[in-house]
Structure formats: C-alpha cells, structure tokens
Amino acid sequence: MKKIVEKHPLAIRWFHWLNFPILAIMIWSGLLIYWANDVYRLGWGNTTVLKFFPQSFYDLLNIPHHLAMGMAFHFVFMWLFAINGLLYVLYTIISGEWRLLLPDRHSFKEAFLVILHELHLRKTLPPQKKYNAAQRIAYSGIIIMGLGSLITGLAIYKPIQFYWLCNLCGGYAAARIEHFTLTIGYVLFFAIHIIQVVLAGWNNFRGMVAGFEVQEETKTNP
C-alpha cells in the first residue's frame, strides 16, 4: 500500500525555484563584471595552478565583454536575490521549519556518518527527520553564504557610505575576494546538489516540485 507523505511546503518550493534563476543571473552578471579585471588565481609566487578564468571558459558560457550590462543586471537582480532570501529565512522562522533545517549538537558527528554511508563505507544511516545531518549543515551553510554575499556585496557596492561594513569584511579588496569566493562556493554546492538529486531519484525530485513523496506503507511497531 502506497501513501503520500507531505514533504516541502509550497512556500519553500517557490523560494527554491525562484532562487535558482535569480542566482544564475547574479552569477552570470557577476562574471560580466569580473571579466573587466580578471586577476584572481590560485597559486603562489609566479606559479599559477588555476587562473580565473581561461578564455575558453568565457567563450563556453557566452560571457561577452560588457561590463556596463553586467553591472546593470547585477544591481537590478540583487534586489530579487535579497528579497527572496530574506523572505525564505522569515518563512522558516515563522513556520517553525527552521527546526528541521538548523544543525543540532549531534549533526556534525552524524554528518560524518552520512558521508561514510554515501561513500558505501557504512551500511546504516543515523535516524533523521526531513533532512539528514549533512543536509542540515549544507542547507544552513548555503543561507549563511547568501547572507555573506549580501554583506560583502554591499561593502563593495558602497564602500564609503557603508565603510563600517567594508571594514568588517577586511577592506575593499578583501570584500571583493570574499564575494568572489562565495560565488565559487555556490557553484561547488550546485555541482554536489545536482549529483545528489540525480542519485536520490524521481521521488525526491518530485517532492521539490509537487511537495510530496510516495512511501510504501509499513507496519508500525507496537
């Protein structure tokens, strides 16, 4: 016997799916801005391990050399990114959904067990509610990263009027590097997220669109 289990509230699904294109536009327009002065690299001294970014990368993603357009899109869609994110946080607080999302004192140890399980090094999973310990950490972390993007972004956008914010970030140049690094973080998050969604399968994906999962009804223990 199959049963429907309600999983994601409608509001959460809206916030999630709105954030996807908005963040994509923020990253794309951010790349348009960054390309005007693409000096960041991983390396030491004169040794460069990875340059951000090789020409082929810009060509592949169709990033034209148009700083003005990048700034315009970035400073329009920043509002949507901020408002959608703030509404999401407000919703999780008011609805009580935060209880399922925030890591608790067991989460950091359990997340390690979850990772062992996913690497097929461990058979069993720790007991979980809606999200496992690794998910709690990842989904709370990504929100803190979003807040970090707003703070570092505002520090870069108005470094004189919000000089205290710029100082908090360690100065103008540091705020830019932090803002850039957070973006790299989103891309890594996205890559892992997609892999996990594919591995978790259709029932899980449908949950993020339709809101419910289908489970086989099991006998409850007395």
Instruction: Write out the binding residues for another protein, residues 172-201 only, by CB under 8 A.
Output: 172-173, 176
Choose among 129, 69, 119: nearest CA to 96: 129
Smallest gap from Cβ 118 to another protein, in A, equals: 24
Q: Which residue in the set 52, 91, 139, 162 belongs to the binding site for another protein (CB under 8 A)? A: 162
Q: What is d(CA 81, CA 92) in angstroms, rounded to the nearest whole number?
A: 17
DSSP state of 3: E
**Both structure tokens of 171:** 């100065």
Q: Which of 68/194 has CB closer to another protein? A: 68
d(CA 205, CA 62): 29
Q: How far is the CB of 117 from another protein (least distance, A)?
A: 23
Which of 16, 122, 193, 206 binds another protein (CB under 8 A)? It is: 206
Asked if residue 100 binds another protein (CB under 8 A), the reply is: no
CA–CA separation, 155 and 77 (whole Å): 17
Distance CA 129, CA 32 (A): 41
Contact residues: another protein, CB under 8 A:
1-6, 17, 21, 25, 33-34, 36-37, 39, 66-69, 71-73, 75-76, 79, 158-163, 172-173, 176, 206, 209-212, 214, 217
